[in-house]
Amino acid sequence: MTAYLARRVLQAVAVVLLVTLIVFGLIRLAPGGAAVGVLGSGSAHQQFLVQYLTWLGRVLGGNLGRSLRLNESVGALLAASLPRTLVLAGLSTLIALLIAVPVGLLQAVRRNSVVDHVLRGLTYLLYGAPPFVLGLLLILYLAVDAHIFGAEGPQATGIGGFITDARDLTLPVATLTLVTIAIFARYMRSSALDSLGQEYVQAARARGGGEGRVVVSHVLRNSLVPIVTLLGLSLPQIVGGALVVEILFNIQGMGWQIWQAAVNHDFPVTLGFTLVIGVAAALGSLLADIGYAVLDPRVRTSRA
């Protein structure tokens, strides 16, 4: 297991380095001296490798540069926007998981029943609904008309104020959750159906195990493997922000910041934020592999 983990960590580090190389290369290719904008005028005549290593050295030293238009360091902008996005996307993923796993399992156990058909229709509906439509509907009915929730996300500067403002946090989290539930529930249903057909499940039933115990002890654990994959792949999205929801609910999160930076040619911000999202993608993949190994011993023995 240790060797497996070590190898995966090394692979993740290599992926991150590759991401930095590609992103910096793309920024350097951008017209208008973007790389010089990031590194300063003294770098104008340096070779690509020298520029890249200079930038990487600064990043490893904790210096991600300075925004060209917001009078802030990239680190300060990250510190302000990343926690908001982590709360927003992390909370919605967690709630979606808590709802989608039992829903998907129920659909599998009650396959082709009325319950399954209704839930399947609902998840199809949510899966196909664009977040801006869902968000606008929620705002229109639950904020503007009913005044139950706020029409925008929390505006507190500190993360404490942001996370405790349940009235304003509810609708953006709900919008993201509804979309995510649909994805997770469909994967869970499919995975649980596969597990229900396995011999070890029939063996457990033959041994006299109650249906509930069989489902929880044998079906659930094995069905969670694809969900772990999904969660791992969701990490860059959780870190990278949900652009549409952030724009709609007036939340200056990661997605909105990186979009603004891209539109306004704020290259240091684009580069710094992309790097963080790249690291999150590598980390998510690593965590998914670790999750596999924990859930399925065959993974760690076959790859170690």
Partner 1 sequence: MRSGGHRRGATIGACCAAVGLVLLLAACGPAAGSASSGAPAASAGGTSVTFAMQPGGQASYPFAFFTDSTIGEDSVYNVNDFQYLMYRPLYWFGTGVTPYLNKQLSLAEPPEYRGKAVIIRMKRNYTWSNGEPVDAQDLVFWINMMIAEGTNWGFYNKSGLPADIASVHMNNNYEVTLDLTSANFSQTWFTNNELSEITPMPMAWDRTASGQSDCDVSVTHCIAVYNYLSTQANKGVSAIASSPVWSVVDGPWKLVSLNSQGKLVVTFNKKYGGPVAPHHITSFTELPFTSEQAEYNVLQDPTAGQTIDVGYLPTVDAPTPPAGSLVGANPTTLPDYRLSAQYLWQLSYMPYNFKNNTGQAAIFHQLYFRQAFQMLVDQEGVIDGPLHGYGKPTVGPVTLYPKTTYLSAQVANESDPWALNIQEAKSKLSSHGWKLEGPSSNQVFTCVRSGTGPSDCGAGIPSGQQLTLKMIYASGIDWMQSAARELASNASLAGIRLNLTQETFIDVVDTAFGCTSTAPASACNWQLALWGSWTYSPDYLPTGDTLFEGGAANNAGGYNDPRDNQLILATLQARTPRQFDSAMRAWDSYATAQLPVVYEPDEATLVETIKGLDTGPLNSADTITPEEWHYLK
Separation in Å, CA 136 to CA 91, 92, 133, 240: 20, 17, 5, 22
CA separation for the pair 76, 67 (Å, rounded): 10
Interaction between residue 83 and partner 1 (CB under 8 A): no
Interaction between residue 137 and partner 1 (CB under 8 A): yes
C-beta of 52 vs 249, nearer to partner 1: 249
Interaction between residue 36 and partner 1 (CB under 8 A): no
In the complex, minimum distance from the CB of residue 120 to partner 1, in angstroms, rounded to a whole number: 12
Residues 252 to 271 in contact with partner 1, rule: CB under 8 A = 252, 256, 260, 263-265
Cβ-based neighbours of 49, under 8 Å, separated by 6 or more: none
Using CB under 8 A, pick the residue from 58, 250, 287, 296 that binds partner 1: 250
CA separation for the pair 196, 190 (Å, rounded): 10
Using CB under 8 A, pick the residue from 1, 15, 36, 76 that binds partner 1: 76
Interaction between residue 150 and partner 1 (CB under 8 A): yes
256 φ, ψ (degrees, to nearest 5): -65, -40
Residue ranges binding partner 1 (CB under 8 A): 31-32, 68-73, 76-77, 80, 95, 99, 121-122, 125-126, 128-129, 133-134, 136-139, 141-152, 154-155, 157, 164-171, 173-174, 177-178, 181, 246-252, 256, 260, 263-265
